[in-house]
Amino acid sequence: MSATIAATLPRLLLGIDPQSALSLQDHLAVHGPMPGRQTGARRRFGRRSDLGGGLVDELERAGLRGRGGASFPTATKLRAAMAAGGRPIVVVNATEGEPASMKDRLLLQSLPHLVLDGAVLVAQALGAREAIVCVCETNADLPSVQHAISERRALEEGVQLRFSVVPNGYVTGQESALVQHLSGGPALPRFTPPMPFERGVHGRPTLVGNAETLAHVALIARNGAEWYRQLGISSQPGSTLVTLSGPLAHPGVYEIEHGASLSSLLDAAGGLSATVRAVLIGGYAGTWIDARATHALAISDEHLAPFGASVGAGVIALLSADACPVAETARLMRWLADQSAGQCGPCVNGLHAIASTFALLATGTAGDGAAQNIARLISLTRGRGACRHPDGAVRLVESAAQVFGEELADHARHGSCTGCGRTAELPLPAWSDVAREDRARRTRGMARGSSKLRASAGA
Amino acid sequence: MSQRVVVNPIACEAHGMCAELLPERIALDDWGYPIVDGRPLSADLIEHAQRAAEACPTFALLLQADGAPIRASAGASRPAPPTVRNVRRRPEPVVRRQTRQGRRR
């Protein structure tokens, strides 16, 4: 993979070596020693809130928000975990189920100690004795993490670091799914509340933090909130990692400050090698934005809000004008429907119905009223899952209807276009087929008329 | 203190009892799953909401008091105040006795 460092801004990516992981020694030489270690202080259970207050206050002043997609204030999460009863556990979420995102993999592969620093600091602040690094099956072969964990044993930080492999899937990295997996259950989202930071792994308050979020914690703890806020905009300070893909000379992971313009990012990536029709922002369950609107576009939640988009997991996928946006969206929507955990009826049935109708629309066989039917199905599906998966999936289709109105009407009338047959530009992960079979097994009996009462009545 | 109905979509198996017992707040979608109106329940609806929650075979329908956390684990959250129990239990034996007598005759 190509790891490119934005010259103006190496914060997280400072000192990165794309060929190998930064050793503990090199990492400490680049960023300085671990801050705020209370050597000799007894981390006693009842006093943990006094110990961690400093870091949490600093994170609050910095305005750090989670980088896994939900953008939840990190300090709020930490305080909630502190207030809950029982000794907390820290979970590093590097599962990165988002197929177009590579930032967490890059961090673990090249800068594992930055992530582990953050995990240890948060664990020390909470009085946790254990931090678990979670990666998906695809990334389970990263030797850098295992090696980094063994390197840190000598530091005697009072936090036991563990490594855990989570099944591949779009929703298996969802916070409550991770917690359920680590408690010995299936890696599927569960009904909340209680939130993981109230009752998480084995009933203990669990702080689940995205790998990039924890890497920022490591730097804020060293350099302070003021330093962090020197970059970015007031509503969203600091820098962020984005995964840029599309017809570019150098696609890959970039570190930008919030509010940076898309055009400057494209320049850093060597410029466009083809005309772009639209940009998919946030993730596959993200938002399409018309390329004509992107010349002045800035990357921050504030600037993306008018488009109904957010930075999300930092995915910026450019779709070339040669590709068929309708076919690409239909394929992504089918995949997202297949990625439903299969637990909630509205998500299983709703996403499946939307994907099927959209696919018919793409081939011109949907008949009259298909667009209205999709709009109705979207309103039936949104907000009715235990997790946010259905909401994200319908957002993709909704934004496609807005941005690709012309193409959609054309497909509805004339069927497939010349671009429909092209190789897909937005890649789907290789594990998808296995996941589909798995889902089919789980969702058997969720369709209408198959609930237990009706089944017994019919028997 | 106001209460509202909440559905645990993971536990829900689309039996549809809730929509029968609380049509004021619950409709069913294309697939038989409840679409819940989460506005606070008026006093006259609370008893019906409690009955709907009790009738749910999977305990997926929950009553949430304003501001209070939802007790999410199935079963433990089942709201069953004594008044509702009395309403449900008393009439039933009476009905059964009547039918038995009817059979004897």
User: For tokens 């599906």, what's the residue?
Assistant: A381
Q: What is the C-alpha separation between A191 and B11, in angstroms, rounded?
A: 9
* Per-residue confidence (pLDDT) for residue A432, from 0 to 100: 77
Instruction: Judge contact between A311 and A281, C-beta under 8 A.
Output: yes
Tell me: pLDDT of B105 over 70.
Answer: no
Q: What is the pTM of this model?
A: 0.85
Question: Distance between alpha carbon A411 and the CA centroid of its chain, in Å?
Answer: 32
Whether residue B9 has a cis bond before it, omega within 30° of 0: no
- Tell me the pairing of strands B26-28 and A315-320: unpaired
- What is the C-alpha separation between A108 and A211, in angstroms, rounded? 8
**8 Å CB contact of B9 and A345:** yes
pLDDT of A441: 65
CA distance A299 to A289: 12
Q: Would the CB atoms of B12 and A345 count as touching at under 8 Å?
A: yes
Residue A71 identity (one-letter amino acid): S
Q: Does position A459 have pLDDT exceeding 60, yes or no?
A: no
Higher pLDDT, A29 or A446: A29
State the Cα–Cα distance between residues A360 and A378, nearest whole angstrom: 16
What string of DSSP letters covers chain B? --EEEEE-TTT-----HHHHH-TTTEEE-TTS-EEE--SPPPHHHHHHHHHHHHH-TT--EEEEETTSPP--STTTT----HHHHHHHHTHHHHHHHHHHHHHH-
A&B contacts, CB < 8 Å: 64
DSSP, collapsed to helix, strand or coil, labels residue A261 as strand
CA distances from A155 to A37, A119, A217, A388 (A): 11, 14, 19, 39
Query: What's the first-to-final CA gap in chain A, in angstroms?
Result: 56
Tokens 């439903």 belong to: A340
Task: Give the whole-number percent of chain A exceeding pLDDT 70.
Answer: 89
User: Among candidates A43, A94, A315, which has minimal Cα distance to A208?
Assistant: A94
Residue A50 pLDDT grade (very low, low, confident, very high; cuts 50, 70, 90): very low
Judge residue A429's burial from the number of C-beta atoms within 10 Å of its C-beta, 0-12 exposed, 13-18 middle, 19 or more buried. middle
Measured between beta carbons, which residues in chain B are less than 8 angstroms from residue A346?
9, 29, 31, 33
CB contact under 8 A, B70 and A193: yes
Q: How confident is the model at residue A437 (pLDDT cuts 50, 70, 90)?
A: low
- Asked if B35 is an interface residue toward chain A (Cβ–Cβ < 8 A), one would say yes
pLDDT at B69: 54
Report pLDDT digits (tens) over A234-269: 999 999 999 999 999 999 999 999 999 999 999 999
Question: What SS3 state is found at A296?
Answer: coil
Q: What would the mean pLDDT of B24-30 be, rounded to a whole number?
A: 95
Q: Would an 8 Å CB–CB cutoff place B57 in contact with chain A?
A: yes
Query: For A327-381, what is each residue's pLDDT tens digit?
Result: 999 999 999 999 999 999 999 999 999 999 999 999 988 888 899 999 999 999 9
List pLDDT tens digits, range A275-326: 999 999 999 999 999 999 988 899 999 999 999 999 999 999 999 999 999 9
Residues 6 or more apart in contact with residue A434 via CB below 8 angstroms: A168
The residue of chain B with its CA nearest to that of A341 is B10
| Per-residue model confidence (pLDDT) at position A368 | 84
Residue from the list A190, A349, A353 with its beta carbon closest to the beta carbon of B10:
A190
Query: Distance between CA A156 and CA A160 in Å, rounded?
Result: 9
For residue A93, the distance in angstroms to the closest alpha carbon of chain B comes to: 23
Supply A201's token pair. Answer: 């792994």
Lowest mean pLDDT among A115-124, A169-178, A448-457: A448-457
| Overall residue count recorded for chain B in this entry | 105
User: At residue A169, does pLDDT exceed 80?
Assistant: yes
Angle between helices B91-104 and B82-89 (to 10 degrees): 10
Distance CA A434, CA A36 (A): 46
CB-closest option in A343, A353, A451 to B14: A451
Q: ipTM score of the complex?
A: 0.83
Q: How far from A41 is each of A61, A120, A158, A160, CA to CA, in Å?
A: 26, 16, 11, 17
In the predicted structure, residue A59 carries a pLDDT above the cut 70: yes
Structure confidence at residue A421 as a pLDDT band (50, 70, 90): confident
